[in-house]
């Protein structure tokens, strides 16, 4: 019986991937624009890696925008 991986599971894995990439990247000397570009790059990489579409990328961008506003 094949294993079924839902889109929600893929999205969670992609979010974990982006968080890991963000933690590995030093942001101390980066401007906000550079940080946003890196975040978008990580989200794009995650979408390609986990075969997610543009709507999923927008959802992740909103999620990480909300998370950064909380800090």
What are the residue ranges of helices labelled H in the chain? Answer: 7-24, 32-49, 54-70
Q: What is the pLDDT of residue 68?
A: 59
pLDDT digit string, tens, across residues 15-44: 999 999 988 987 777 788 888 889 999 999
Whole-angstrom Cα distance, residue 9 to residue 32? 30
Whole-angstrom Cα distance, residue 24 to residue 44? 17
pLDDT digit string, tens, across residues 44-54: 999 999 999 99
Count of Cβ atoms closer than 10 Å to residue 67 Cβ = 12
Residue showing tokens 């929600």:
8
């Amino acid at each position: 019986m094949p294993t079924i991986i839902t889109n929600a599971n893929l999205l969670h894995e992609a979010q974990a991937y982006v968080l890991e990439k963000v933690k590995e990247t030093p942001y101390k000397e980066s401007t906000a624009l550079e940080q946003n570009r890196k975040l978008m790059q990580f989200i794009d990489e995650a979408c390609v890696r986990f075969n997610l579409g543009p709507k999923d990328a927008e959802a992740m961008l909103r999620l990480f925008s909300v998370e950064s506003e909380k800090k």
